[in-house]
Every structure is written in C-alpha cells, then in structure tokens.
Amino acid sequence: MKDLVFSGIQPTHELHIGNYIAALKQWAELQHKKCCFFCIVDLHAITVPQDPKKLRANILEAAAVYLAAGIDPTKCSIYIQSEVAEHTELAWILGTIGKVSELERMTQFKDKSKKQTQGVSAGLFTYPILMAADILLYDANQVPVGEDQMQHLELARVIARRFNERFGETFTIPQPLIQKVGARIMSLQDPEKKMSKSDPAESSKILLSDKPEIIRKKIMRAVTDTEGSVHFDPEKKPAVSNLMTLYHHTSGLSLKEIESEFKGKGYGDFKKALAEAVIAELSPIREKIESYRSNSSELERILDEGRDTAKEIAARKMKLVRERVGLGRA
C-alpha cells in the first residue's frame, strides 16, 4: 500500500520560516512519492480567541501559501478541516479513549495556557485529541511535523493502539517524519524559545511574506554570541547553530561545508550570505502568494476538490468507527 501522509498548519498569523522548513518544504518533497492530505486546521486555530473576519482571511491566505510553496493540488488534497465534519465527530469519540492525565502532560498546553488572559478554553486542553482524529481518520502512516508536535503525535499513537485493542484493528499507527536538522527553528532574538507565529516581536521571526530588505534587517539583528566563529554546537552556541540551520536549508550546503566556507570569517560575512540565501529561497514564494491570493476562484476550486476527496475517505472511516463502537443503528 502507498504511504499516506497527513499534515496541517493553523491559519493563525502569518507563516514563518520554521513552518516552511519543518512542514511545507517537506510536504513539497513528499507529494512526489506519497498520497498526501494537507489540511488548513482552522478548528485548531479557534482553541485560542480569533477574530472571525481575520480567521477567514487567514484560511485563504494559508491555501495561497501552500500553493506558493509548491504544494501541487494535482498531486495531493488541500482542504479546510472544518469543511470535513468527520474530524470533529471522530475527535469526540477519541475523547472517550484518551485520558485527562495524558492531556495534562502536554507541554504545549502548559505553555499556551499561560498566555491566555481571558481563561483557558476546554478546546485548548483537548487539542491533541482533535489532532489524533485528523491523522487517524485517513489512516495516515506518516506525519511530517516540527519537534514541537512530537508529544501530540505520540499521544495519537497511544490512542490509536488503545482503540484498536478495545474495538478491533481500525486505525493505522502513524509515524512522525521529522527533519534531521531544523525540526525546531528558534527565535532570532532568543535561541531558547522556538520561532513562533504568535510571538509579538517581529524581529524574532522571518515571515514568508517578508520583503528582502526586512529579511536582511532581521538577520543582521539576530542574536549570536561573543566567540565569533561559525561552528555548529546547539548546546554551547544555540543562536549561531540556529542561523546555520537556516543556511543549511536555504543554501543546500551541509553544516560541515558551512563551517569551512566561513572559517576565519566573522558573523558579519556569515549573516550577509545567510540573508541572501534566505531571500533567494523565500522571494519566489512571496511573489507567488500574491498571485494565488488574487485568483480566488482558482483557490475555491482547489479547496472544493480537496474537501470532496477528503470527505469521501473520512465518511467511509467514520461508518466503520460508528459500527465498531456501537453507535446509532445498523
């Protein structure tokens, strides 16, 4: 059987280079070899308050970004999570399989709940259950994610196994697909923090929509260390190692090749080369986002087709799940 890949991005804020390296870039490579479902996970987005008008705009923006990053709708399905209601139905059922104690261990919940000023929603707590439903609904066996999602994916595996043991073989156990280098891109201003869409500090992240002069400024201002050597050591030199990771993914050079290119040179030279490599990688994407965004009928058509394909598989799976659990009537 052909491998099935599922992955998604929340349409919250603008996407950054961390989302690109860990998710979109991997997706664009995978689509040539596997059957892929790439979802815009708007139901996940509302686990923290969203402005409804902005959310709708962000959903279409995310679809344009997927296409601009090279995701080809003739090779894979691109669709919006809330348009396939089976995601939420399965999430409810899996919520009776997952345990509160398991959800309480999720570090993302602990981090995100600290930032909520108007109380923490129950949806933020049960987010990993919905993520399990997203993946298990399609029997995805491969899930490309950044390192921050590994704990959620592990929970999806636990839930799938537990369901299969209780009700008989129903779900495929998914495996993570994680970049060897760059599974966690860090903030340009604080190498202890991951680069995050919702970080209010603009200089902490490189957005896919950033123009060349902004990219140059952000990289030239990125924190480094006092040692002055371009050397990969995430423990002792986390900031420089993070910048080297960005250079590795945008120049195609290995970490060793980067070290030898900048042997005896300072951070200034390295940052200039990094900025040009990032600009060369992201500029074509930025230009394409604009053109996909302005062709809304084409975007609508792609999202309709993706939804229909996803819905067919999801409906079949839910029929089986209802039977296994004993819901409704025969």
Q: Is 194 annotated as a binding residue?
A: yes
Q: Is 112 one of the annotated active-site residues of the chain?
A: yes
Q: Is 317 annotated as a binding residue?
A: no
Neighbouring residues of 127: CB distance < 8 A, sequence distance ≥ 6: 44, 47, 106, 108, 109, 152
Using CB under 6 A as the criterion, which residues of the chain lie in contact with ligand AQP when the complex forms? 9-10, 12-13, 18-19, 22-23, 145-146, 148-149, 184-185, 194-198
Distance CA 35, CA 140 (A): 9
Measure the CA angle with vertex 43, ends 66 and 178; round to 5°: 50
Q: Is 245 annotated as a binding residue?
A: no
Give which of 15, 20, 41 is closest to 133, Cα–Cα: 41
Which secondary structure element, helix H or strand E, spans residue 36, and what is its range? strand 35-40
Distance CA 8, CA 98 (A): 21
Q: How far is the CB of 271 from ligand AQP (least distance, A)?
A: 19
Query: Which residue bears the tokens 């074509």?
Result: 284
Q: How far is the CB of 166 from ligand AQP (least distance, A)?
A: 29
Exactly one of 75, 112, 217, 311 is catalytic; name it: 112
Give which of 34, 41, 40 is closest to 66, Cα–Cα: 40
- Residue type for 109, please? F
Q: Is 8 annotated as a binding residue?
A: no
223 vs 325, which CB is nearer to ligand AQP? 223
Q: How far is the CB of 23 from ligand AQP (least distance, A)?
A: 4
- What six digits make up the tokens of 194? 């991951």
Backbone angles phi, psi at 314, to 5 degrees: -65, -40
Cβ-closest position to ligand AQP: 146
Q: Is 272 one of the annotated active-site residues of the chain?
A: no
Distance CA 68, CA 225 (A): 35
Q: Is 11 annotated as a binding residue?
A: yes
196 vs 224, which CB is nearer to ligand AQP? 196
Q: Is 185 annotated as a binding residue?
A: yes
Residue 75 DSSP class: T
Exactly one of 25, 34, 194, 205 is catalytic; name it: 194
Write the DSSP assignment of 164-232 as a string of letters.
HHHH-S-SPPPEEE--SS-SSPBPSS-TTSB--TT-S-GGG--BTT--HHHHHHHHHTS---SS-----
Q: Is 134 annotated as a binding residue?
A: yes
Exactly one of 2, 34, 180, 197 is catalytic; name it: 197
5 vs 23, which CB is nearer to ligand AQP? 23
Q: How far is the CB of 141 from ligand AQP (least distance, A)?
A: 17
98 vs 146, which CB is nearer to ligand AQP? 146
58 vs 318, which CB is nearer to ligand AQP? 58
Q: How far is the CB of 323 from ligand AQP (least distance, A)?
A: 32
Annotated binding site for L-tryptophan: 134
Annotated binding site for ATP: 10-12, 18-19, 146-148, 185, 194-198
Annotated binding site: 10-12, 18-19, 134, 146-148, 185, 194-198
Catalytic residues: 112, 194, 197
